[in-house]
Structure 1
Amino acid sequence: MEYRDYLLRRALSTIPMFVGLSVLIFTLARVIPGKPARLALGARATDEAVRQLRQQMGLNEPIWIQYFDYMGGMLHGDFGQSLVTNRNVATDIVRFFPATFELTTVAMSIAIVFGVPLGVIAGQNKDLTEDNLSRLISFFNVSLPPFWAGILLQLVFAFSLGWLPATGRLGDIEYVPVQVTGLLLVDSVLALNFETFASALRHLLLPAITLSLAPMADIARMTRSNFIEEFQQDYVEGLRTHGIPERLIAYKYVLRTSFASTLTIIGLDYGFLLGSGFVVEIVFSWPGLASYGVTAILEKDINAIVGVTLVIGAAFLTINLLVDVLYGVFDPRVWHSGESE
């Protein structure tokens, strides 16, 4: 099998998965107990108001017609109107998603930069002091709830030391660059406004570190496990007999091969953080999609709930597709054999 055929097969496989996801989400949102229109307006709403909202949301049609109408509108950028903001849900998603994407991307970058070396050091020194210390750090990271981690970081670095801001994406007096991507770090660089870039980075550090702790532990443990397993392969012993230094074997050969499996956990954690970072967004008053989705749930804003869930689901599938692409680069056996682990 050619690498191109492998990529095409992977890309095509995401289509039925997204269709199935959209059917599941849409159906669940329409058949929830209590009826969507009544839940959205509250118990005190008049029957006339409920009827008008049902008409507006197309709830009087059979559910399969509602689904195709919704998907057809979605293809044209119409996700329905939010009952909370009175805007098109797509407009709200475009407004809030960049903040979540920026936070999640920086958090995962931190997790990878620190998690991979922790795993490598632990794998090279199995059952020694370095390994025990690495496992202790991983255990601490995964055990500390994000809510408490965020508050502790705020207390130390924002309120006690005053090194970093506690909340928000920018200070009140900072210039907000023209939105090109919605990512403040990128837009400030494009505008050549490095003062705003520095402020955006300072505001980003605490929530990103908080969000990176759990995936850092996952990456470290997976890298350690893969490293130990890979070091037991015959080719490693062959490299040693040829006099290749242990450090070169570890970082040039073993890390490349073992990292393919680590990519899987990176992709899963990345997709998970996109939809589950609402606790961190709330603690740091971060105006992202996750906190917008929580507000939609609390306010029973059905269109917003469906729109946010579909976007996060689509992002998750896209990330997994990218992981498959990189998996094939790091481990060509995947597409040579026509199988993916």
Structure 2
Amino acid sequence: MTRTASGSLPRYILQRTLLVIPMIWVILTLVFIVLRVAPGDPVSAALGGKLDQDALDQRREALGFNRPILAQYWDYLSSVARLDFGRTFSDNQPVLHVVRDNGGATLALTVCAFIVALLVGIPLGLIAGRFRDSVPDVVIRLFGILSYAAPIFFVGFLLQAYVAKPLGLPTSGMASPITVFTVEPKTHILLIDVFLSGDSTAIEDVLKHLVLPATTLGLLICGVFIRLVRVNILQTLQSDYVEAAEARGLGRSKVTWRHAFRNALVPVITVIGLQFALLLGGAVLTESTFNWPGLGKKLVDYINDRDYGAVQGIITIFAVAVVLISLLVDIVNALIDPRVRY
């Protein structure tokens, strides 16, 4: 009876949700500390040389940087609790507006890269596990190692140099200028907006621009999925119920698809939250490589401008998004596999 209560889904969700609070607090604290150990103060770093000393002092006072560090820390936490992630120093606009205008491009790129990683990684992992220690297995494992270890900007340059021209794919930007100007921005996600517009030419244009960045970013984590699926396929094929199914006369292919494949997907779902964080980090380099107008490229621009207000706000949003997605993955995993609730 105790086991049932402790393993109930509502109790598990409550426990995981409560754990999110200290996780977010630790992340916010680290962001606050890291951005304040740099020499000088954020206002002088961002606007020094652009404003005179009186204007700098006024801006510093308005932003609260002349207050004690603990008071700044409390203001930062209370602002985030109100979903106020601050303002940029260089152009003085709310960080949430920057995320609204540029986050859609990053979201579309990340989701499409995830699809590429799953479409490539899961079938290859299944083939590698099904034909263990064969030539296909060795080749697939080598591909997985290389795809994970290769610098993402290097992979992007290779695709731009050797794949873009033969396939007629664009190497820069999210769409042609005519598409950007003619499609009405209803959702701030161009990929969705072009489908809502029904313009087939615009849809084709956006999809072509998406192929190389999504492939580059997807290859970053497909190696992880290859390894996970392969290892779990091998473990499942050696389990008792698989041997029993084969003893009943089921062929190896049917056993692999009906039994082993489904169980092999459980750990893939488990690590999706962690891989999402990796994709967000990779999106910064991918967007810079392909001049993709997303939040990652915008973050790089703000870092170059030493705009700590924008950097702090964007990194905070990234961090909170990763934690919340990890929570969602834990809940989905508990629905699929009840054993994780205990």
- Provide TM-score, normalisation by structure 1: 0.91
AA matched with 2:12: Y
Higher mean C-alpha displacement, 39-48 vs 285-294: 39-48
2:184 to 168, 171, 178: 178
Q: Is residue 90 of structure 1 aligned with residue 86 of structure 2?
A: no
Query: Could you tell me how far apart the structure 1 residues matched to 2:49 and 2:205 are?
Result: 45
Name the residue aligned to 1:310. Answer: 316
AA matched with 2:273: G
**Alignment map for 1:149-160 (pairs within 5 Å):** 149-158=155-164, 160=165
Partners of 2:152 and 2:282 within 8 A in 1: no
Higher mean C-alpha displacement, 232-241 vs 22-31: 22-31
Superposition deviation, residue 105 in structure 1: 0.8
Determine what percentage of the aligned residue pairs are the same residue: 34
Root-mean-square deviation (CA, aligned residues, Å) is 2.0
Superposition deviation, residue 131 in structure 1: 0.6
* Number of residue equivalences: 335
User: Which runs of 5 or more structure 1 residues have no equivalent in the other structure?
Assistant: none
1:7 to 13, 25, 29: 13
Query: Could you tell me how far apart the structure 1 residues matched to 2:292 and 2:41 are?
Result: 32
Higher mean C-alpha displacement, 40-49 vs 86-95: 40-49
2:265 to 259, 267, 280: 259
**Alignment map for 1:263-302 (pairs within 5 Å):** 263-302=269-308
Name the residue aligned to 1:70. Answer: 76
Partners of 1:239 and 1:249 within 8 A in 2: yes
Name the residue aligned to 2:3. Answer: none
Q: Is residue 50 of structure 1 aligned with residue 56 of structure 2?
A: yes
Name the residue aligned to 2:166. Answer: 161
Partners of 1:99 and 1:288 within 8 A in 2: yes
AA matched with 2:315: T
Query: Could you tell me how far apart the structure 2 residues matched to 1:97 and 1:218 are?
Result: 25
Name the CA shift for 1:61/1:43 in 2 (closer, same or farther; >3 Å).
Answer: same
Q: Deviations over 1:165-214 (max 9, x none)?
A: 11111112225433333222222222333332221111111100011112
Instruction: Tell me the secondary structure at the aligned position of residue 113 of structure 1.
Output: helix
Name the CA shift for 1:54/1:170 in 2 (closer, same or farther; >3 Å).
Answer: same
Superposition deviation, residue 64 in structure 1: 2.9
Name the residue aligned to 1:232. Answer: 238
AA matched with 2:175: L
Query: Could you tell me how far apart the structure 1 residues matched to 2:249 and 2:97 are?
Result: 60
Query: Could you tell me how far apart the structure 1 residues matched to 2:321 and 2:330 are?
Result: 14
Partners of 2:117 and 2:221 within 8 A in 1: yes
Query: Could you tell me how far apart the structure 2 residues matched to 1:59 and 1:33 are?
Result: 14
Query: Could you tell me how far apart the structure 2 residues matched to 1:322 and 1:73 are?
Result: 24
Q: Is residue 146 of structure 1 aligned with residue 148 of structure 2?
A: no
Higher mean C-alpha displacement, 64-73 vs 125-134: 64-73
Q: Is residue 191 of structure 1 aligned with residue 197 of structure 2?
A: yes
- Provide TM-score, normalisation by structure 2: 0.91
User: Which runs of 5 or more structure 2 residues have no equivalent in the other structure?
Assistant: 1-6
